[in-house]
Amino acid sequence: MAGQGGIDEERRSSTVARLLLDASDQDLVDFVELVATPAFVIDAVADGFVFRASNSLHEQATGMDRATMMGRRMDMPLMADISAQVVPNYRICMTSRQIQTYDECLTMPNGVRWWRTTLIPVPSPDGSIRRIFGSALDITPLHDLEERARRLSADQDALQARLTRTLRTAVDALATAVETRDPYTAGHQHQVSELSVAIAVALGIDQETREMIRLGALLHDVGKLGIPTSLLVKPGRLIDEELALIRAHARIGADMTGNLDLPQTVRLIISSHHERLDGSGYPCGLAGCDIPLPVRIVMVADVVDAMLTDRPYRRHLTLSAVEAELARNDGRCYDQDIAAVALAVVRGDMPGFTLPDSWMLQRIPRAMA
């Protein structure tokens, strides 16, 4: 196994062994003093470990007096608590005969600190391990930074979740506000949203885009808040000026939500759900691939739900009539593949994809009539 600085582990261990194994106590002290990080040497004895040497950096870092520690067992009162943590690692180093590097949190006389410790076994000529050289880095600042980053990330996740809940609640309230102004389209945006998401699921569209489609469909007619209610519920045919005013809801919706930080897909669904593939729609006359897939889906869900609903000027259509109407369109206005999926979903012919019971109960009995 490769060690630090490109020296393999076996060579590191044998180098340390050559330097440390037969060193006098003073040589040990001199050696560890040369190390640029807190360093120490411990020896295995019959029933534990004793401290043999440490450098001044170790003394400063741990707050433990070297003179007190030298030659003392690890279970002395000063070290008893720490010993319970570190001795198992010493034993692993001895039995594995491998260099061990690990992070540990120790309560020292100078406070709680995090250490990244490396233990190097020092093999005796007979192959046994009776001495370990250790060095440690105080990683408390790094650990604190990581901990703060983890907390910050958790806080951000919680904030994002709260913002998402707030956005969903606000969108739902806006959708309901639009629907309560017009009894003929009560529930329309919620139903278009549910059908759009069911189509998106059936088409294998990813979760993030589906959420944009759900929100956009819930808000697609939000511009109707700017249209007089008397016009929305007016029976009979509308004169051109009235029709133009109603059609303005797409642009009004885009203006109303323009200052909200809504995703681009949601804004496009609001502004473009009355566009048509052949360019005959409004407000911009977009055509073909200038109309993105999420908008195409809501376009189809919108007309399917509208045809299945009573309006001031006509009764709802049956599902067969809706199917005939979409077939007659033959891809000029609506995406035929999406229309086919929408009809299959509404009919319950898409295995694994079903609309919510609320949608089916409200639409199917009337559609079948």
Sites of contact with Fe ion (CB under 5 A): 221
Annotated catalytic residues are: 224
127 φ/ψ sector (left φ>0, alpha ψ -120 to 50, else beta)? left
With 0-12 / 13-18 / 19 or more C-beta atoms within 10 angstroms meaning exposed / middle / buried, residue 115 is buried
- When the beta carbons of 17 and 326 are compared against Fe ion, the nearer one is 326
Which of helix, strand or coil describes residue 243? Answer: helix
Least separation, in Å, of the C-beta of 360 and Fe ion? Answer: 23
| C-alpha distances in Å from residue 82, one per residue of 91, 199, 267 | 15, 62, 61
d(CA 158, CA 145): 20
- When the beta carbons of 221 and 275 are compared against Fe ion, the nearer one is 221
43 φ/ψ sector (left φ>0, alpha ψ -120 to 50, else beta)? beta
Least separation, in Å, of the C-beta of 165 and Fe ion? Answer: 26
d(CA 326, CA 345): 15
What DSSP line would sit under 200-224, residue for residue? HHHTT--HHHHHHHHHHHHHTTGGG
Least separation, in Å, of the C-beta of 271 and Fe ion? Answer: 11
Least separation, in Å, of the C-beta of 355 and Fe ion? Answer: 20
Peptide bond into 283 cis (omega under 30): yes
Q: Which helix (H) or strand (E) holds 58?
A: helix 56-62
Least separation, in Å, of the C-beta of 343 and Fe ion? Answer: 20
Least separation, in Å, of the C-beta of 197 and Fe ion? Answer: 18
Least separation, in Å, of the C-beta of 333 and Fe ion? Answer: 14
Which of helix, strand or coil describes residue 284? Answer: coil
Least separation, in Å, of the C-beta of 220 and Fe ion? Answer: 6
- When the beta carbons of 39 and 227 are compared against Fe ion, the nearer one is 227
- When the beta carbons of 221 and 305 are compared against Fe ion, the nearer one is 221
d(CA 117, CA 74): 17
Which of helix, strand or coil describes residue 279? Answer: coil
Number of H helices, E strands in the chain: 16, 5
- Say if residues 37 and 146 touch (Cβ distance below 8 Å): no
- When the beta carbons of 64 and 277 are compared against Fe ion, the nearer one is 277
- When the beta carbons of 52 and 188 are compared against Fe ion, the nearer one is 188
- When the beta carbons of 20 and 301 are compared against Fe ion, the nearer one is 301
Task: Show the tokens assigned to 82.
Answer: 């720490």
Closest residue to Fe ion using C-beta atoms: 221
Helix axes 319-329, 357-368, angle to 10 degrees: 90
Reference 268, options 252, 286, 254, 285; nearest CA is 254
- When the beta carbons of 301 and 322 are compared against Fe ion, the nearer one is 301
